[in-house]
Amino acid sequence: TQLLEQSPQFLSIQEGENLTVYCNSSSVFSSLQWYRQEPGEGPVLLVTVVTGGEVKKLKRLTFQFGDARKDSSLHITAAQPGDTGLYLCAGAIDNYGQNFVFGPGTRLSVLP
Amino acid sequence: NAGVMQNPRHLVRRRGQEARLRCSPMKGHSHVYWYRQLPEEGLKFMVYLQKENIIDESGMPKERFSAEFPKEGPSILRIQQVVRGDSAAYFCASSPRPSTDTQYFGPGTRLTVL
């Protein structure tokens, strides 16, 4: 049983389209992180959200943490081929953040 | 400032051999985390170490797996008597403190057990 679920599992879109991917759990997290991982590489941290209801923007990426701190979404505006990759969310399961739980990821493919 | 270094990047072992994976954290980072990733899956936490101490090994198999982070030198993840099911990508991350917002990942070691 996954502590963190991500949807959709796979997403293939055309360049210029908008998309949203989701990260859901029945557990409350003290913080949640989003990473992007490219083939053959380690995950690269995109953002950390800490406060329920928090919204963070990183250029064309908008991240939202749910009010109850159980879920999060990542919205990409005008997707580009460079956005292609595996998007992982990870939740800190204790207040010290020593132990992160990762979701299975959403594999995004942006076609030119 | 060099990032997290892992070596080797690729490791091939036959069943029953030992695998040693090394991780050098970012300069100034004293907290190291090891994760395992199977194909098409997310990362599974294995162990969290500080210098000379194992803080949390709740994700590590009880047998054949061990980890250390000595006072000097890299952190080592050791897998004894490897089996085919150990084939995976192993990632190391480091942070300057047990923080919830600054884990930096290395490029990973891809272990293949023949």
Closest CA to B40 of A15, A96, A39: A39
Q: What pLDDT score was predicted for residue B101? A: 56
In 3D space, the residue among A111, A112, A108 whose CA is nearest the CA of residue A19 turns out to be A108
pLDDT band at B32; cut points 50, 70, 90? very high
Q: B85 by DSSP, 3-state: which?
A: helix
Q: Is B25 touching A (CB cutoff 8 A)? A: no
Instruction: Give the tokens for residue A25.
Output: 């759990």
Nearest Cα residue to A104 out of B92, B86, B37:
B37
pLDDT attached to residue A54: 95
What phi and psi, each to the nearest 5 degrees, are found at residue A74? -125, 120
Supply the pLDDT for residue B18: 98
The 10s digit of each residue's pLDDT in A52-74 is 999 999 999 999 999 999 999 99
Provide the number of CB pairs (under 8 Å) joining chain A to chain B.
67
pLDDT band with cut points at 50, 70 and 90 for residue A95 = low
Please list every residue in chain B whose beta carbon sits closer than 8 Å to the beta carbon of residue A107.
40
Spatial CB neighbours of B110, under 8 Å, sequence gap ≥ 6: B9, B10, B11, B88, B89, B90
- Per-residue pLDDT tens over the stretch B52-69: 899 889 889 999 999 999
A17/A76 Cα distance (integer angstroms) = 8
Cross-chain residue pair B42–A104, CB shorter than 8 Å: yes
The pLDDT, as a whole number, for residue A93 is 72
- Rounded-to-integer distance, Cα A60 and Cα B78, Å: 41
Question: Mean of the per-residue pLDDT values for chain A?
Answer: 90
Q: What does the pLDDT average to over B5-21?
A: 97
Task: Give residue A24's pLDDT band: very low, low, confident or very high (50, 70, 90).
Answer: very high
B58: nearest CA in chain A?
A99
* Cβ atoms < 10 Å from Cβ of B85: 9
pLDDT at B2 over 90: no
Judging contacts by C-beta atoms under 8 Å, the chain A residues touching residue B93 are 42
Residues 76-95 of B with CB under 8 A from A: 91, 93
A98 — pLDDT class (breaks 50, 70, 90)? low
Nearest residue to B74 (alpha-carbon basis) of B19, B7, B9 = B7
Position A92 scores a pLDDT of 82
- Band of pLDDT at residue A106, cut at 50, 70 and 90: very high
Q: Count the neighbouring beta carbons within 10 Å of the beta carbon of residue A104.
A: 19
Asked if pLDDT for residue A96 goes beyond 60, the answer is no
- Report CB contact under 8 Å: B42, A88: yes
The reported pLDDT for the residue numbered A23 is 96
Instruction: Provide CB contacts within 8 A for A96, sequence distance 6+.
Output: B98, B100
Best mutation site among B10, B23, B34, B43 for testing chain A: the one with the most A CBs within 10 Å? B43
Taking alpha carbons only, the member of B3, B7, B4, B5 closest to residue B110 is B7
State in Å, rounded, how far the first CA of chain A is from the last one.
36
| Subunit contact B105:A103, Cβ cutoff 8 A | no
Q: What pLDDT was estimated at residue B79?
A: 98
- Picking from B32, B41, B54, B42, the residue whose alpha carbon sits closest to that of residue B106 is B32
Residue A42 to residue B45, Cβ atoms within 8 A: no
pLDDT tens per residue, range B67-113: 999 999 999 999 999 999 999 999 999 988 775 557 889 999 999 99
Q: What is the DSSP letter of A82?
A: G
